[in-house]
Amino acid sequence: MAAMTTEHPVSAADAGVSELYATHWHALVRLAYLMVHDVTLAEDLVQDALIGVHQRWGRLRDSHAALAYVRRSVVNGARSALRHQVVVDRYAQRTGAEESVVSAEHSAMEHAEHDAMLQALSQLSDKQREVLILRYYSDLSEADIADTLEISRGAVKTHAHRGLARLRTILEDTSATTYRSGE
C-alpha cells in the first residue's frame, strides 16, 4: 500500500523564518540571555520575536531586514522582561514574599566562569550594556547596533567607549578585591 503524501506549499514567511531560525537561533538566544540572565526566558523572547516576524513577513519592506527586525524585537522583549522583573521585585520586597526557587539552569550559570563579566555588565547603564552586548557578543557593526537600538552611530560610539571604560574599572576593582581576600 503506497503512502499518501500531500505536499503543502511553503510560504515565503515559513521559508524566511526557518532560515532565520537555522542561521541565527543560538546568537539571538545568547543576546537575550546576556540581557535577562535566564536561559528559558531568553529562548522564549527569541521564539516570540520569530513568531512576530512570521506574522508580519508580508509587511516587511525588505526581507533581508528581517534579522534586524528580530534583533530589535529580542532587545525590546528583554527590556520589557527586565521592567516586569523590577515590578515583581518591588512587590516581593513590599509584601515580604519569599524569593522563588532558582532553576537548575540558572544555578549552573551562576557558577560559570563568566559570572564576573555578567555581574560587571549588570552594573552598566542599560544603553551601555545593550551596546556592548550587541557589539562584542553578537558581533554587530555600529550601524547595525544603531538600527537595533534606534539611536545614532555617534551614540553607539559614546556608549561603547564609556561602557568599556566603566567595565574595565569594575573588573579591576573586582579582581583586586578577590586577590586581597585570597591572601
Residues 6+ apart with CB under 8 A from 46: 25, 28, 29, 32, 70, 74
Same domain, 60 and 117: no
Return the pLDDT at 91: 83
In a domain, 145, yes or no: yes
Same domain, 46 and 79: yes
User: In which domain, by residue range, is 55 found?
Assistant: 13-101
**Axis-axis angle for helices 142-149, 153-181 (nearest 10):** 100
**Does residue 170 surpass a pLDDT of 80?**
yes
Task: State how many domains the chain has.
Answer: 2
Same domain, 164 and 133: yes
Same domain, 73 and 133: no
In a domain, 33, yes or no: yes
Choosing from 45, 79, 101, the residue where a domain stops is: 101
In a domain, 4, yes or no: no
In a domain, 151, yes or no: yes
Q: What is the pLDDT of residues 28-67, one digit of tens each?
A: 999 999 999 999 999 999 999 999 999 988 888 777 788 9
- What letter represents residue 90's amino acid? R
- What letter represents residue 172's amino acid? E
In a domain, 5, yes or no: no
CA 158, 161, 166, 171 torsion: positive or negative?
Answer: positive
Residue 160 is part of a domain; what is its CATH number? 1.10.10.10
**How far is Cα 131 from Cα 125, in angstroms, rounded to an integer?**
10
183 pLDDT tier (thresholds 50, 70, 90):
very low
Return the pLDDT at 177: 65
Return the pLDDT at 7: 65
Number of helices (H) and strands (E), helices first, in the chain? 8, 0
**How far is Cα 140 from Cα 151, in angstroms, rounded to an integer?**
14
Cα-to-chain-centroid distance, residue 98: 27
Same domain, 42 and 89: yes
**Does residue 11 surpass a pLDDT of 60?**
yes
Same domain, 134 and 167: yes
Same domain, 17 and 90: yes
Residue 10 phi/psi, 5-degree rounding, is -90, 125
Number of C-beta neighbours around residue 128 at 10 A: 21
Return the pLDDT at 50: 93
Q: What is the pLDDT of residues 96-148, one digit of tens each?
A: 765 566 666 666 655 644 677 888 889 999 999 999 999 988 889 999 999 99
Same domain, 118 and 182: yes
In a domain, 46, yes or no: yes
In a domain, 164, yes or no: yes
CB 108 within 8 A of CB 94: no
Residue 28 grid cell: 539571538
Return the pLDDT at 132: 92
**How far is Cα 109 from Cα 112, in angstroms, rounded to an integer?**
5
Return the pLDDT at 124: 93
DSSP letter (8 states) at residue 56: T
